[in-house]
Structure 1
Amino acid sequence: MTEPHIAFLGLGAMGFAMSTHLVRSGFRVTGFDIWQPTLDRWQQTCTEISKQSGSGAEPKFQATTSCSEAVKSGANIVILMVATHYQANSALFESGAVNDLPKDIPVVIMATVPPMYPLEVRKRLTEEYNRPDIIVVDAPVSGGVARSQNGTLTVMASSDDPANLEHSLVKTCISALSSNGKTLFPIPGTLGAGTSAKALNQVQCGIHIVGASEIMTLAALAGLNTKTFFDTVQQPQSSSTDGLSKEKFRYGWTWMLTNRAPRMIDPSLPIASAISIINKDVGIIVDEETRLKVELPLLNTANAQLKQCMDSGIAGWDDAYITKFYLDPTLKDETRMNTVISQASSSTSTVQDVEQVTETVLQAHALINLVSAYETVQFAGALDLMGEKQRDMWFRLIAGAAGGSTVFEEVVPVAFGEATWTDGFKKWTSSKLGSAWDLSKVEKLVEEVKRKNPEFKPVLVEGAIKFAKELSQ
């Protein structure tokens, strides 16, 4: 098999971690980024990796100052991991790199882009540049920087020819980033199917990132010790029996809360994902709502919160710090903005109240997770991803990826087991509100916290309460 030589275009947080993992794994990588300091840091990191290997062999990496240089460096596969599809166009077409692409080279789009974009790339290559030989693969990822660093990303791959996913260079490179292929999901359909599946995951992620901040803020303002509350969320309730996860967590658990909460309560931890990134991803879905004529109310509410954060000038903040916006939308009262942090070392609840308040806050989060699951399935229908094989694939990948939640993992199979999926959601919701969840206690707690803290706007919880009432009627 020909050894992969990767032209890796885009060395932002995710691209940097992915490309250096490939270098660490022994791949030959030529890296490019438009920002010279990032390129310099990448070169230095790769040099350190090479020294640590101690092999004494010739380094298998190089940095280049243009996309054309990257693809002319001897590369036999291109990976695009830029921030937006506009940047992808710039890297591939506007830079002129397309004219230097070797014959039959695979171009793997791993960035988060609109679902129609991979097909647009295919069309431009064929019709505008007369390059039908170039293989285009749509392979967006989920899992964040940490999983990029160790090559355990969830990858959702599709192409206009299924055989492209079996191309030796494509398969080798993608597998190296997806747990040796264990977290690689080939999505049935043509180009764009992978990105559509990623969009479903991002419905969950977009709501859950904002939701995690709202719920940690609610916990803090309700007087709970935020670290203890987070530790409670992390306690597994039982072992999973369906193979989707190793443990079953209590209602109110999401992957995003697990990932973001440590940074909410400990400001010394490094930034991992800026607000601008999830704002961009959610914006893609909002644009798709218009194109597909579908409405996702809670996702739109989360989007409005993100827009307000962007407009407040905190686009570069870690998205875990959305708690600060919830606590003080003016972003002027530092003490108040740090309430989630300060409440990690104190508690104002009485001992006998802690367990009940904790459970009520968790139920509030579970209601948000219920609506996010509902809107995900609704969006899947609009994207025409409701074939049995397709829905099984995207359900399993979301359950094990950054969009995962206990509620999603439990309610969606019930929904698919009924005559209509909406009937399934109604059945499941009615059973929970009649036993495990007390909606009146959630409403009472939210109203009490709002009365004491008028600036706090728990818009996702309130929207979820309204939805649950309507669904259970």
Structure 2
Amino acid sequence: MSSRRIAFIGLGIMGSPMAANLVRAGHTVTGFNLTQPPIDKLVAEGGRGAASIAEAVKDAEVVITMVPADPQVEEVYFGDGGVLDNAPAGALLIDMSSVTPQMSQRVAAAAEERGLRSIDAPVSGGEAGAIEGVLSIMVGGKAEDFAEAKPVLDALGTTVALVGPSGAGQTVKVANQLIVAVNIQACAEAVVFLERSGVDLDVALDVLNGGLAGSTVLTRKKQNFVNRDFAPGFRIDLHHKDLGNLLSAARAVGAPLPTASLVADFITALRAAGDGGLDHSALLRNLERLSGKVN
């Protein structure tokens, strides 16, 4: 794979290991973040740092953005000193944030007006998947832009697919978040039931994970459940945002999603209790509150 000059905007829980994986793949990566320590970390790993978005993207062939939600994408792309006004003509923009399909389509249209190209490429796999470079990446955009982006994306994930036109990646991502949220809720309910029944939880979860009930969620989150360790790999606040995007999109196409609505309410309750910064496996806390086990 030939080396590309890549600007990486947003070095958070997901972005930081993703940028590091691109460096390890042989790319020249210049990172920008609103706080300095993640930039310093990237530099220590062989990347470069920039003091602004404009500086990061000025010579980039590829610009990757990984920020929390629509407002941040709006600022990064359309704000003063943003990507659209400073990326060189012909650059390929890859937004890997999880946002609404409408935002992805807006970015793509604005990019085309400026002689740039854009795809939306949200991911699934959480912090562990980002660190290990095994993310699932769902891409919306033109086939020729996907073909150019794929060698770069292959350094970040093991499942990389074009799922449709601009915005389609985001549509598939919110469907992913529906499945993940419902799976976590089901696992949490099983944990409460098993513990109340006096079963060895650690062993029981291993047995369940070896059969049809097994899942990546249970593999990744088992220790969170067993140890009540809810340090954020993917924050409740972000899953709340994603399910909001899902339900909005579902209403637009007339798709009833009753289970998604219920789990979204549980996530809203967690945020109201001050747990928005915890990992989404903290859905277990809702059930424990209902059982009187935690405050």
Common fold, TM-score beyond 0.5? yes
Shift of 1:268: 6.0
Deviations 1:243-295 (A, max 9, x none): xxxxxxx2322221221121121246854222112111111101112222222
Contact 2:77 2:107 in 1 (8 A): no
Q: Does 1:195 align with 2:170?
A: yes
**DSSP-derived class of the 1:224 partner:** coil
Q: For the residues of structure 2 that align with 1:329 and 1:44, how far apart are their CA atoms?
A: 42
Query: In the superposition, relative to structure 1, how do residues 150 and 122 fare at CA in structure 2: closer, same or farther (>3 Å)?
Result: same
Shift of 1:324: 2.3
Q: For the residues of structure 2 that align with 1:292 and 1:258, how far apart are their CA atoms?
A: 33
Shift of 1:153: 1.1
Q: For the residues of structure 1 that align with 2:41 and 2:120, how far apart are their CA atoms?
A: 30
Give the greater-gyration-radius structure (CA). Answer: 1
Contact 1:104 1:134 in 2 (8 A): yes
Counterpart for residue 5 of structure 2:
5
1:87-102 correspondence runs (5 A): 87-97=72-82, 98-102=84-88
Counterpart for residue 143 of structure 1:
125
Counterpart for residue 165 of structure 1:
146
- Letter of the structure 2 residue corresponding to residue 262 of structure 1: Q
Counterpart for residue 60 of structure 2:
75
- Letter of the structure 2 residue corresponding to residue 234 of structure 1: N
Counterpart for residue 44 of structure 1:
41
Shift of 1:209: 2.1
Counterpart for residue 294 of structure 2:
337
Q: Does 1:293 align with 2:273?
A: no
Counterpart for residue 234 of structure 1:
209
Q: For the residues of structure 1 that align with 2:152 and 2:109, how far apart are their CA atoms?
A: 24
Shift of 1:96: 2.8
Shift of 1:329: 4.9
Q: For the residues of structure 1 that align with 2:232 and 2:43, how far apart are their CA atoms?
A: 21
Contact 2:266 2:286 in 1 (8 A): no
1:350-365 correspondence runs (5 A): none
Q: For the residues of structure 2 that align with 1:309 and 1:13, how far apart are their CA atoms?
A: 21
Q: For the residues of structure 2 that align with 1:70 and 1:16, how far apart are their CA atoms?
A: 15
**DSSP-derived class of the 1:176 partner:** coil
Q: Does 1:32 align with 2:8?
A: no
Q: For the residues of structure 2 that align with 1:79 and 1:13, how far apart are their CA atoms?
A: 15
Q: Does 1:325 align with 2:286?
A: yes
**DSSP-derived class of the 1:111 partner:** coil
Of 304-313 and 140-149, deviating more is 140-149
Q: Does 1:304 align with 2:265?
A: yes
Q: For the residues of structure 2 that align with 1:270 and 1:307, how far apart are their CA atoms?
A: 18
Query: In the superposition, relative to structure 1, how do residues 268 and 299 fare at CA in structure 2: closer, same or farther (>3 Å)?
Result: closer
Q: For the residues of structure 2 that align with 1:31 and 1:95, how far apart are their CA atoms?
A: 18
Aligned-residue sequence identity (percent) comes to 26
TM-score by length of 2: 0.92
Q: For the residues of structure 1 that align with 2:38 and 2:143, how far apart are their CA atoms?
A: 37
What is the Cα-based RMSD across aligned positions, in Å? 2.2
Q: For the residues of structure 2 that align with 1:145 and 1:2, how far apart are their CA atoms?
A: 27
Counterpart for residue 436 of structure 1:
none
Q: For the residues of structure 2 that align with 1:229 and 1:42, how far apart are their CA atoms?
A: 42
Bigger fraction of residues in helix? 1
Bigger fraction of residues in strand? 2
- Letter of the structure 2 residue corresponding to residue 90 of structure 1: E
Q: Does 1:104 align with 2:65?
A: no
Contact 1:9 1:33 in 2 (8 A): yes
Structure 2 stretches lacking a partner, 5+ long: none
1:12-31 correspondence runs (5 A): 12-31=12-31
Q: Does 1:281 align with 2:242?
A: yes
Deviations 1:358-390 (A, max 9, x none): xxxxxxxxxxxxxxxxxxxxxxxxxxxxxxxxx
Shift of 1:150: 2.2
Shift of 1:323: 1.6
Counterpart for residue 71 of structure 2:
86
Q: For the residues of structure 2 that align with 1:296 and 1:106, how far apart are their CA atoms?
A: 35
Counterpart for residue 275 of structure 2:
314
